[in-house]
């Protein structure tokens, strides 16, 4: 059965980097097949995973009605186009959602997308979703399942507040997850209010600040080029081992 691992958090928390590290972890342990879904409009997983993309789900949705050949159903055409833009790599595949649609009604297209994405996901053991802070794709049902929810924040008070708002939104949408954790990235120790936040999130994980990740981000490098001795890998892999290594 497919397991959905969903990452959420405001921009600048390192959410995409930790999503990419999860891909590397699962790939290293041969826990495949893996589908990676970049659902953040400001997508950067292709760069972190060293993949060139040929299209996004948003572009497929935009062109669905205009480009569909005569004599072919919308279902058939969308399935062909979605499979076309899924980028295959060694140990994992990548699907980029892209920016939200413009004006107009996309209800019919979105309903078909939900069904097709569900069918596609059943082919994979793990589906890693790098979500945007607003949880748009989940709130609209494009992605309808969460097994693991990792909300990423930094020690900054504004970042913690954003994590709390995301958690509240998840509750309001009645989205349950088997496991949930607040991941404090770029950490230098326990944050103020740790005990209270533990009661809300169930688990808090601290990932120490790592200059190597900062350099990787500045240079636009791949997560696979990061040395295995990097602090962020040791810290985050320890957490992932607790979740998936049993």
Phi and psi angles of residue 36, each rounded to the nearest 5 degrees, phi first = -105, 125
Q: What is the pLDDT of residues 123-153, one digit of tens each?
A: 999 999 998 766 666 666 667 778 999 999 9
Could you state, in order of their start, the residue ranges of all structural domains in the chain? Answer: 3-244
How far is CA 213 from its chain centroid? Answer: 18
Q: Are 98 and 40 in contact (CB under 8 A)?
A: no
Q: Are 27 and 34 in contact (CB under 8 A)?
A: yes
Instruction: For residue 240, name the pLDDT band (cuts at 50, 70, 90).
Output: very high
| Partner residues linked to 93 by β-bridges | 35, 88
Report DSSP letters for 104-152, one per residue: S--HHHHHHHHHHHHHHHTT-SEEEEE--TT-HHHHTTSS---SEEEEE
CATH 3.40.50.300 fits 3-244, yes or no: yes
Q: What is the pLDDT of residues 68-87, one digit of tens each?
A: 888 888 888 888 988 999 99
């Amino acid at each position: 059965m497919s397991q959905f691992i969903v990452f959420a958090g405001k921009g600048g928390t390192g959410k995409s980097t930790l999503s990419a590290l999860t891909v590397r972890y699962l790939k290293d342990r041969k826990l495949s097949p893996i589908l990676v879904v970049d659902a953040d409009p400001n997508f950067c997983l292709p760069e972190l995973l060293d993949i060139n993309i040929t299209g996004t789900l948003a572009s497929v949705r935009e062109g669905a009605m205009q480009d569909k050949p005569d004599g072919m159903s919308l279902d058939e055409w969308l399935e062909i186009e979605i499979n076309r833009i899924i980028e295959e790599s060694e140990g994992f595949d990548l699907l980029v959602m892209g920016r939200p649609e413009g004006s107009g009604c996309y209800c019919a297209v979105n309903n078909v997308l939900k069904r097709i994405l569900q069918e596609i996901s059943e082919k994979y053991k793990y589906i890693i979703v790098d979500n945007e802070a607003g949880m748009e794709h989940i709130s609209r049902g494009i992605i309808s399942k969460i097994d693991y929810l990792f909300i990423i924040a930094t020690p900054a008070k504004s970042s913690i507040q954003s994590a709390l708002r995301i958690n509240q939104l998840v509750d309001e949408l009645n989205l349950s997850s088997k496991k949930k954790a607040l991941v404090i990235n770029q950490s230098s120790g326990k944050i103020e209010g740790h005990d209270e936040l533990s009661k809300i999130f169930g688990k808090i994980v601290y990932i120490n600040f790592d200059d190597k990740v900062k350099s990787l981000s500045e240079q636009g490098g791949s997560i696979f080029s990061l040395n295995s001795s990097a602090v962020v890998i040791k810290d985050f892999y320890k957490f992932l081992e607790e979740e998936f290594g049993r």
